Chains A and B, each alone.
Chain A
Amino acid sequence: GNSVTQMEGPVTLSEEAFLTINCTYTATGYPSLFWYVQYPGEGLQLLLKATKADDKGSNKGFEATYRKETTSFHLEKGSVQVSDSAVYFCALREGSTLGRLYFGRGTQLTVWP
């Protein structure tokens, strides 16, 4: 079956620190991979995506590379800001481009000034 495992939080960092949030997946086919972000009091927003192996998704200084050999899609940012404080969800979608998303449990990130 399909599943997503992401590192448990909470993650607490100082401003300008390096961020990694690990995400690994299990899928029977060739999934598309996503990171969603949920800022306090807001709905989920798509942060970045990758649709095939070795693709790199990037947005707002965040990056994640689709690694088929390690079934991973780790989220990274070189220098976090206070405004990055949010909950981050890794997700996969397999098969139909309109199929359901399988989400990880989310990782709470808090960045202190």
Chain B
Amino acid sequence: GAGVSQSPSNKVTEKGKDVELRCDPISGHTALYWYRQSLGQGLEFLIYFQGNSAPDKSGLPSDRFSAERTGGSVSTLTIQRTQQEDSAVYLCASSSSGSRTNLYGYTFGSGTRLTVV
């Protein structure tokens, strides 16, 4: 697609429920990243996928968080047993190994605003 698409744009869930957030990267982009943006906390790295390599999961805050990327394209971030502190905007970005594109940094989606009540 023309841009990075994330769904849903907003999600309100009850504490203890599981949620799935979806990211559809730009077609052909081999790298995909998840970040979390909390009020006053800036951008927190969560996980990074690059091609067929093992993902860099070093930013996942707990084992309640997991992510997968199917077929090198769409990615799903899953949060199990959600807690109120999980409330944030979850951002997805993608990037390409093309020599011009990668110098331009990432392309971000508009994010999913998650509210845990």
Contacts and interface: CB of A to CB of B under 8 A. Distances in A.
Task: State the main secondary structure of chain A at its contact with B.
Answer: strand
B102 interface: yes
B105 A49 contact: yes
B97 A98 contact: yes
A53 to B, nearest CB: 16
Interface stretch (A17-25, A37-45, A60-68, A72-80): A37-45
A98 B30 contact: yes
B62 interface: no
A46 B111 contact: no
A36 B105 contact: yes
Contacts of B110: 42-43
Interface in B14-67: 30-31, 33, 35, 40-43, 45, 48, 50, 56
Interface residues of A, number: 24
Given A43-B91, A43-B110, A44-B91, A93 B105 contact: yes
Contact of B33 (A42, A43, A89, A100): A100
Interface string A98-110: 1111111110000
Interface size class of B (residues with CB under 8 A): 20 to 34
Contacts of B50: 96, 98
B105 A43 contact: no
Given A43-B109, A51-B103, A100 B41 contact: no
A46 B42 contact: no
Given A43-B109, A44-B108, A100-B33, A106 B102 contact: no
Contacts of B111: 43
Contacts of B75: none
A34 to B, nearest CB: 5
Interface of B: 30-31, 33, 35, 40-43, 45, 48, 50, 56, 91, 93, 95, 97, 102-106, 108-111
Interface of A: 32, 34, 36, 42-46, 49, 51, 89, 91, 93, 96-106
Can you list the 3 inter-chain pairs with the closest CB atoms, starting with the nearest? A105-B42, A103-B43, A97-B102
